[in-house]
Amino acid sequence: MMNKLSQLRAITAVVADTGDINAIRQFTPLDATTNPSLLLKAAQQAEYQPLIDEAIAFAARQGGSSGEQTARCCDRLATRIGHEILQIIPGRISTEVDARLSFDTAATLERARRIMDLYAQMDVAPERVLIKIASTWEGIKAAEILEREGIHCNLTLLCSFAQARACADAGVTLISPFVGRISDWYIHNTDATSFAPEQDPGVQSVRRIYHFYKEHAYNTTVMGASFRNTGQIEALAGCDSLTISPDLLAQLDADSGRLPRALSATADAGFAAAPIAEAEFRFQHNDDAMAHEKLGEGIRKFVVDQYALESRLQARARILEIA
């Protein structure tokens, strides 16, 4: 019998949730996704130092203030790592917009277009890139505009049904509902210490979104993310796509048990649901304490790692200047 990873690949697009090129080579996923936390980890590995040095030199040639150069350096590094990953995978790379722009539609648009321009300079076709944006109302509105421009988006830090509805209305290419972070909240805020996969709140959230999308004929891809264990993954087998860390990919690869399909699209899809208005979105998302807290927490954590990445790049730039 095939291992569980092979069985999963037969019914779900498997995406690597890592910037580690060696792990991507090992597990050969269809797509890959990165974020500031993953880029920070990658930047600490020796094999990425040439890319860092090139990004620093690139930003210096562009000129501007120290802050502008640092921002350009980060975008260049993210796209250079993305370019390297695209040499290995057959599908798409998700590259994230600075989380500090999560509540600024215009700034998100500007940064997304710059990221796409950097990829274009490396002859990467636009259909091979997903711009990753936090699922705030402002981020979703930016994604709606980008999609109309032919720039495809991955809406991340998604924990509420209101976010999922708004993303579908905006016609985004893909959403990343966070399974593990939802479960974490319920473990920390209720008497539960763990959940069986079928009762896991994160799993149930993704299933609800998946069935809603299929029932209303939305084309947006549902990509479950942020897994804590393989049980959560197996409970979503059959979902459009799942982004999985190297550790969990390895566990699935080593397991020769049977992996049945857990999700299937309904036979007859209906018409799209009525769009969600901004006031309705904001109230429903705010009324979901878990989703409200986890979105804010996720943005804050990405910002912390963004600052850490920038500090590392600035320190490396000073070393290069001395040398």
CATH number of the domain residue 176 falls in: 3.20.20.70
Which pLDDT does position 273 carry in this prediction?
A: 85
Q: What is the pLDDT of residues 81-136, one digit of tens each?
A: 999 999 999 999 999 999 999 999 999 999 999 999 999 999 999 999 999 999 99
Domain holding 43, by residue range, is: 4-322
Confidence of residue 268 (pLDDT cuts 50, 70, 90): low
Name the catalytic one among 4, 132, 214, 294: 132
Residue 271 has pLDDT above 80, yes or no: no
Which pLDDT does position 36 carry in this prediction?
A: 87
- How far is residue 252's CA from residue 237's CA, in Å, rounded to a whole number? 12
In the chain, the number of structural domains is: 1
Q: What is the pLDDT of residues 142-171, one digit of tens each?
A: 999 999 999 999 999 999 999 999 999 999
Contact 30, 90 (CB under 8 A): yes
Residue 257 has pLDDT above 80, yes or no: yes
Residue 250 has pLDDT above 60, yes or no: yes
- How far is residue 310's CA from residue 302's CA, in Å, rounded to a whole number? 12
214 part of the active site: no
Q: What is the pLDDT of residues 33-92, one digit of tens each?
A: 888 888 888 888 888 899 999 999 999 999 999 999 999 999 999 999 999 999 999 999
Contact 290, 159 (CB under 8 A): yes
Residue 18 has pLDDT above 60, yes or no: yes
Which pLDDT does position 267 carry in this prediction?
A: 60
DSSP strand pairing (13-17 vs 31-33): parallel
Arithmetic mean of pLDDT, 258-262: 97
The tokens of 261 are what? 């399909």
Residue 270 has pLDDT above 90, yes or no: no
- How far is residue 21's CA from residue 304's CA, in Å, rounded to a whole number? 23
Arithmetic mean of pLDDT, 273-291: 97
